[in-house]
Amino acid sequence: MDKKTLMNKVLSGGGWALTGKLIFAAASLLINAMLSRLLQPQELGTYFIAFNIAFFGSIVGMLGLNQSIVKFLAENRRLAKYREMQRAVQLVIGIALLGGAAIFVLYISFQHFLNLNLFHSPLLEQLAVPIAIWILCNMFQQLLAESFRGLDDIRFATIFGGLLSNLLLVAALSRYFFTGHPVLSDVIFLVNLSILLSIAISLGALIKKLRNLPTAPGQRSTVPHTAEAKRILAISLPIMVSAVTLFFLTSSDIWILGVFRDSDEVAVYGAATRLIALIALCEIVSNSVLPSLIVTMNTKETLPQLQKLGRIVTTISLLPAAAILFIFMLLGPWILGTIFGSFYQQGYWVLILLSMGRVINVCGGANGLLMTLAGYQKTLMYITLITSIITVIASILTVSSLGAHGLAAVMLVGLGLQNVFMWIWVKKKMGIVIHPDFPLLIDEARTYLDKKRAQNVTNVN
């Protein structure tokens, strides 16, 4: 892949991803702002806990298939094995159906025990079935979206990765500003309905796209389905373990706060976490553009080119992330009060600490993608597991005495440790270093503009 093709791919795919995710973020923020006014703080705190349960359950139920499908589709697309691509999607969806059924049954069976011993919330227990359905909805929404990413369709991956369902949910919630306040069960029903509509549309689009793949020169595999499923799971399961441990590193804070503090404090903390999603958006260019490139460029000859591209993309991602952090530092209380209401202004320091952690993740996130898709998912699993255990233990020891502020500080340190470990490992084992590089970005931008200028002069002459 030549340099011009790489830059076009970054600009085109990154542009789609960034535009789509900006709309997604705006819709997410609007949803949470609406909920902060439609629900009481205690209900909103319960919603945030339910959201995390659904998110965690979908991670476990997907079994890491959402990332491995990108790898399988990209590899087979490079080799023009189109029938293998169709087969991989069918197998992955079949395995996901089994994983989804298992996680549904497990949650329904154990939610009473968990609620009785941890969250002590009668409302969560009443919502057991809707939350279990929410888990399944999240699973298949992400799995179908990542299938499009593996097919190198960044546009549909962005639309069906949550953008469409969020826009549908905004429309559904809007009616309550005219008809009265909903209860939490109404909100979760609308969440599930919005995602299910998105899944139905994306499944139809995916089937059509797979049917339109060329039938040659790919050959039908002679490998039995069971053997192929085992190969998929051998790659997927370590990714799932890494994702689970990463959840505890980045998202278990809501659970820990819900166990040791009251629902009002959970609501304030949850509101701050919704704002830092704006910084997480800055990782979208990396997460959308780099996966297929990593799979196709993971050779000794192309690693230097991959390092250069990784640095450029990481630097581009850091620019808006740093700008958002600066705005939060200046206007945090006003932003929290305007979006969520004056009650939530007390989350200012939580917002700043968590935002700093996300900026660190923007700087080092490409290293995690590289390890996952270059075949080092087990090493990433160990790194994430160690840092997650340290972070969770420190969080539990801290939250009772220092509350939300202490918890946010611990999450910041935990993310920093994970990114440092990943950076060191990639440098030592793969011989490349991916981090922000502003001089490189400036040089590449200058070269690109000079070429465009020379091209324009040639066209005029």
pLDDT digits (tens, 9 = 90+) for 174-218: 988 777 778 889 999 999 999 999 999 999 998 888 888 776 554
What total number of domains does the chain contain? 1
Distances (CA, A) of 229 to 149, 211, 220, 233, 388: 21, 22, 16, 6, 29
Mean pLDDT across 253-266: 85
Q: What per-residue confidence (pLDDT) applies to 336?
A: 92
Tokens describing residue 327: 């705005």
Residue 457 falls within a domain, yes or no? no
Distance CA 99, CA 101 (A): 6
Distance, CA of 441 to chain centre: 25
pLDDT in tens, 382-428: 888 888 889 889 999 998 888 889 999 999 999 899 899 988 888 88
Domain residues for the domain of 232 are 3-445
Of the listed ranges 16-20, 100-104, 352-356, the one predicted with least confidence: 16-20
| H or E stretch at 224 | none
Residue 376 falls within a domain, yes or no? yes
pTM of the model: 0.74
pLDDT greater than 60 at residue 3: no
Residue 238 falls within a domain, yes or no? yes
Comparing 284 with 179, the larger pLDDT belongs to: 179
Count of residues for the chain? 461
Distance CA 63, CA 100 (A): 9
Residue 8 falls within a domain, yes or no? yes
Distance CA 151, CA 149 (A): 5
Interior CA angle at 49 toward 43 and 54, to 5°?
120
Backbone φ and ψ for 434, nearest 5 degrees, come out as -115, 115
Omega before 217 within 30 of 0, i.e. cis: yes
Q: Which residues, at least 6 apart from 448, have a Cβ–Cβ distance to it below 8 Å?
A: 7
pLDDT greater than 70 at residue 297: no
Residue 460 falls within a domain, yes or no? no
Judged on CB neighbours under 10 Å (0-12, 13-18, 19+), 296 is middle
For residues 365 and 286, is the Cβ–Cβ distance under 8 A?
yes
pLDDT greater than 60 at residue 272: yes
Residue 209 falls within a domain, yes or no? yes
Mean pLDDT across 124-140: 92
Distance CA 257, CA 270 (A): 10
Distance CA 437, CA 446 (A): 15
pLDDT greater than 80 at residue 45: yes
If one counts every other C-beta atom within 10 angstroms of the C-beta of residue 417, the result is 18
Residue 453 falls within a domain, yes or no? no
Residue 450 falls within a domain, yes or no? no
> Average pLDDT, whole number, for the chain?
83
Interior CA angle at 46 toward 330 and 190, to 5°?
95
Q: Which of 383, 332, 389, 322 is nearest to 356 (CA)?
A: 322
Q: What per-residue confidence (pLDDT) applies to 5?
A: 52
